[in-house]
Amino acid sequence: MGKAIKKANLFDGDSYYALFAQATYKRLISRKWFAYADIMADYEGKQLTCNVSKCNNYGELKKAFLDIRQIINEKAGGECFATKGNNRGKKFLYIGADDDPLADMRNAKVINDLRQYWRFCQDSAGFFPTSWLEYFFRDCRDLIDIKAKRQKGEQVLSASLDRMLTNIDLLPMLYEAITHKQVLSIDYKPYGEESRPLVFHPQYLKEYNGRWHLLGHADNELPEFGYNVALDRIDGRPRELVPHDYVSAPAGFYEQFFNDIVGVSRHADAKVETIRVRAHSLYVFKLTETKIIHHTQETVIPFGQHADGEYGEFEIKVEVNNELIGRILQMGAGLEVMAPAEVRETFRQRVEKLAKRYEQ
């Protein structure tokens, strides 16, 4: 036997050694023949295109396997692996009596991972509206611990979202309605209008800029899917309608729904535009690089000195909505929409109206 392994847990952490240990152990408890190349392929997530010995971190793989083999053999008091083949293509087969010889180590890793997740959940309480916590932790001691950490000033995560939004306390109830496919009667009150009832099939919750929106299908209303009800426009508490057949959104609908907009609002006659935006300072240019406006954003002119001035430009492919206009105008004179002409005109009119407010 070799020197005893002192490592507390082979599987802990995200080092190459730990990842190879996990992949190795999964192979051996399958009780099927395997080689080093099989472990490396599992780690890479694809078939190898070269000899395993030429792969990056091959040494860590080999060390992890040898350590696992030694620990298992020491526990069993004898050799638990059969081998076949030559050194280059040698294969191994676990033949030990115990189907899960390192169960204690694996369970310890799971417990450690759960503790880490538990700590994060407690700390991340600063991200969530209070109504979420009060609802989902109402029967847990965790809620007491979370409140105690907050009172002691020990909370280490927080968000800038507004927590005082009207009807924020409805979030848990609406979340449950979505997961349980419940049809709701909602009194919807747009600004400056009378409240009107909706038979609503809630399908998706979306937060944007601190404001929550409930999206779904509303009977006898358009659009058929993606009908948007802002939480702060709901009048009173929604009521479940029983019995009532629930209408689900088509698979993947909401991933596509938000794909080409900023924020949450869409307009029936809107089309996707390729919008070119100019940044007039290096600071603003870099800011829009690190905090992009939309996932389609692409730099088309690097920032620098050009014949007609100092600037950089990027393009985004989106529908024009109020959220997009707000994102760009919040940068003031730092950003300028250059094209297409009709979109530039939309921004020019907004800026002109704004400027007139300050003329006197």
Q: With respect to residue 230, please indicate whether it lies within any of the assigned structural domains.
A: yes
Residue 135 and residue 56 in one domain: no
Residue listed under structure tokens 């426009």: 233
pLDDT of 290 > 80? The answer is yes
Average pLDDT over residues 274-286: 96
| Total-model pTM | 0.64
How does pLDDT run across 318-353, given as a tens digit for each residue? 999 999 999 999 999 999 999 999 999 999 999 999
* CA atoms lying within 13 Å on the CB side of residue 65: 22
For 284-300, b/e burial (b = at least 16 CB within 10 A) is: bbeebeeeebbebbeee
Residue 176 shares a structural domain with residue 246? yes
Using an 8 Å Cβ cutoff, are 35 and 84 in contact?
Answer: no
Count of structural domains within the chain: 4
Whether the pLDDT of residue 219 is over 50: the answer is: yes
**Proportion of the chain above pLDDT 70, given as a percent:** 85
Structural domain contains residue 334: yes
In terms of domains, do 280 and 312 share one?
A: yes
- pLDDT value at residue 1: 46
**pLDDT exceeds 70 at position 192:** yes
Q: Does one domain contain both 177 and 147?
A: no
Same domain membership, residue 123 and residue 91:
no
pLDDT at 108: 73
Flag whether 265 is in a domain: no
CA dist 81 and 83 (Å) reads: 6
Tell me, yes or no, whether 137 and 197 share the same domain.
Answer: no
- 145 in a structural domain: yes
The pLDDT of residue 118 is above 70: no
Q: Is the pLDDT higher at 177 or at 125?
A: 177
Reported as type and span, the H/E element at residue 204 is strand 196-208
What's the confidence (pLDDT) of residue 72? 92
Residues 90 and 112 in one domain: no
* Same domain flag for 135 and 214: no
160 in a structural domain:
no
Q: Is 134 part of any domain?
A: yes
The whole-number pLDDT of residue 344 equals 97
Q: How many residues does the chain have?
A: 360
Residue 253 sits in the same domain as residue 172 = yes
Distances (CA, A) of 139 to 117, 174, 186, 250: 19, 20, 28, 35
Q: According to the model, what pLDDT value does residue 156 have?
A: 66
Same structural domain, 315 and 344: yes
The sheet carrying 309-318 orders its strands as 298-306, 309-318, 273-279, 335-339
pLDDT in tens, 153-166: 766 666 665 556 88
Res 6 pLDDT > 50: no
Range(s) of the domain holding residue 146: 106-151
Number of Cβ within a 10 Å radius of residue 120: 10
* Residue (of 9, 206, 250) closest to 106 by Cα position: 9
Helix 322-329 / helix 341-357 crossing angle, nearest 10 deg:
60
How distant, in Å, are the alpha carbons of 5, 10, 69, 110 from that of 25?
Answer: 16, 10, 9, 15
Residue 266 placed within a domain: no
The closest of 49, 59, 46 to 15, measured between CA atoms, is 59
Q: Is 200 or 140 the better-scoring residue by pLDDT?
A: 200
- Mean local confidence (pLDDT), 112-116: 65
CATH number at residue 344: 3.30.70
Average pLDDT over residues 85-104: 88
Assign residue 38 the CATH number of its domain.
1.10.10
Which pair of structure tokens corresponds to residue 247? 């209408």
Asked if residue 51 belongs to a domain, the reply is: yes
Residues 94 and 110 in one domain: no
